[in-house]
Amino acid sequence: MKISVIQQNYIVANFDYNFSKIKKAIIDHHHSDLIIFSELCITGYYPYDILAYPAVIARQFEVIEKIKVLTEQYNTAVVIGCVMPVDGLKKFYNAALVIEKGQIVFEYHKQLLPSYSIFDETRHFIAGEKTSPFFTFKGQKLALLICEDIWFDNKQGYLVNPVSELQGKALDLVISINASPSMLGKFAQRQQLVSHIADIAKAPVAYCSQVGGYDEIVYDGASFVMDKKGQIVALAPSFKEGEIHADLQNLPQQSFNSPFIDKPYALILQQLMLGLKDYVHKCGFSGVVVGSSGGIDSALTLAIATLALGKENVKAITMPSVYSSKGSVDDSVDLCQRLGVELFQRAIKDEFLMTCQNFEKAFGHPPKKLTKENMQARIRGRIVMEYSNDSGLLMLTTGNKSELAVGYATLYGDMCGALNCIGDLYKNDVYALSNYINEAYGELIPRSIIEKAPSAELAEDQKDSDTLPDYYYLDAMLKLYLEHDVLLEDEKKQLQEIVDTVDLTERKRIYRMVELSEFKRKQAPQILIVQRRPFGIGRRMPVTSGFQKT
CA 535, chain centre distance (Å): 11
Active-site residue (options: 82, 110, 457, 520): 110
Please measure the distance between the N-terminal and C-terminal CA atoms of the chain and give it in whole angstroms: 59
Handedness of CA 258, 260, 262, 264 (dihedral sign): negative
Could you tell me if residue 502 is left (phi over 0), alpha (psi between -120 and 50 degrees) or otherwise beta? Answer: beta
Which amino acid is present at 301? T
> At 200, which helix (H) or strand (E)?
helix 186-201
86 Cβ partners below 8 Å, 6+ apart?
A: 92, 93, 126
Q: Where are the alpha helices (DSSP H) in 340-484?
A: 349-363, 369-391, 401-406, 427-441, 447-451, 471-482
Whether 460 is catalytic: no
Phi, psi of 342, deg, nearest 5: -70, 130
The alpha carbon of 451 is separated from its chain's Cα centroid by a whole number of angstroms, namely: 29
Partners of 527 in beta bridges? 420
The answer to whether residue 82 is catalytic is no
Residue 416 designated active-site: no
* Nearest Cα residue to 517 out of 545, 497, 492: 545
Identify whether 46 is preceded by a cis peptide bond (ω within 30 of 0).
yes
DSSP 127-162: --TT---EEEETTEEEEEEEGGGG-GGG-S--S--G
39, 148, 243, 351: the active-site residue: 39
**CA 201 – CA 215 distance, rounded (Å):** 36
Distance CA 153, CA 454 (A): 42
Closest by CA position to 437, among listed 246, 303, 248: 303
Among the listed residues 82, 100, 107, 147, the single catalytic one is 147
Q: Active-site positions?
A: 39, 110, 147
